[in-house]
Amino acid sequence: MSSNYSVYSLAYIEEDVSTYNCYLNEAEWGRITKMNPTVRLFARIKNRDKEWYVAVGEPIKTYTFDDNTLFVPNWMLEQLSVYGEGDSLEVHWIPADFFENSTHICLKPVNFNYESSTIEEELSVELTKLGILQNGSRIHISMPSLDNYVIVYDVVYLEPANIVLCQGDSVTLEFIKDLEPPVERLPTPYPEVPEVVPSAPPVEKYNPWRSKDFKPPFS
């Protein structure tokens, strides 16, 4: 089932919530989870040719807002090229068992220079919380052991599909780094062009062999 929702940034909610989920009010949350009460639910949010999959979090009970309002983390809105100021977007609700379980995940850290394998176990837990990975996307992962430092990863390659569910025991994580940057060389300076000083026009000299200068001898 799908319908249009007014999509807002999580910045509008002054509440400590996960930046891996989207959020609804209690009435709307109850309506969409009623059909799949025992399965984790995801929202597929579409903006023209862009789409993003995000897990549905617990309902927001401390604020009153319309049933067709959806709150989404800022970094996910960037993937959809929207600001989250009430944009009307199509949302489709999909149960977790619709997706294939991931078997291989290849990530490239964007802002993390340390060995990613040292946090692999914790990263696996965080990816499971995130739920869905999309090939070619950029994800923001908050690491508790690093004082909730947010590591940004590019999703380079996934198996067995371009969109997978992050769960299961047979998942392998792979990390790639950028190639060593080339050594910068200073540009070779161009030689100085000497200042050209105009010279005086040449003084025309008498040439007996030129017809205009020829003068017959006088006797």
Is 194 within a domain? no
Taking residues 99-107, what's their average pLDDT?
Answer: 95
pTM given for the model:
0.78
Residues 170 and 129 in one domain: yes
Residue 145, domain extent: 100-175
Residues 46 and 65 in one domain: yes
DSSP the chain: -EEEEEEEEGGG--S---TTEEB-BHHHHHHHHSSSTTS-EEEEEEETTEEEEEEE-PPB-SS---TTEEEE-HHHHHHHT---EEEEEEEEEEEGGGSEEPSEEEEEESS--S-GGGGHHHHHHHHHHH-EEETT-EEEEEEGGGTTEEEEEEEEEEES-SEEE--SS--EEEE--PPPPPPP-PPPPPPPPPPPPPPPPPPPPP-TTSGGG--PPP-
Is 85 within a domain? yes
**pLDDT class of 201 with cuts at 50, 70, 90:** low
CATH number at residue 22: 2.40.40.50
2-44 pLDDT, tens per residue?
799 999 999 998 888 999 999 999 999 999 999 888 899 999 9
- Count: domains in the chain: 2
CATH number at residue 117: 3.10.330.10
Is 60 within a domain? yes
Does the pLDDT at position 145 exceed 50? yes
Instruction: Provide the pLDDT for residue 64.
Output: 85
Is 29 within a domain? yes
Is 196 within a domain? no
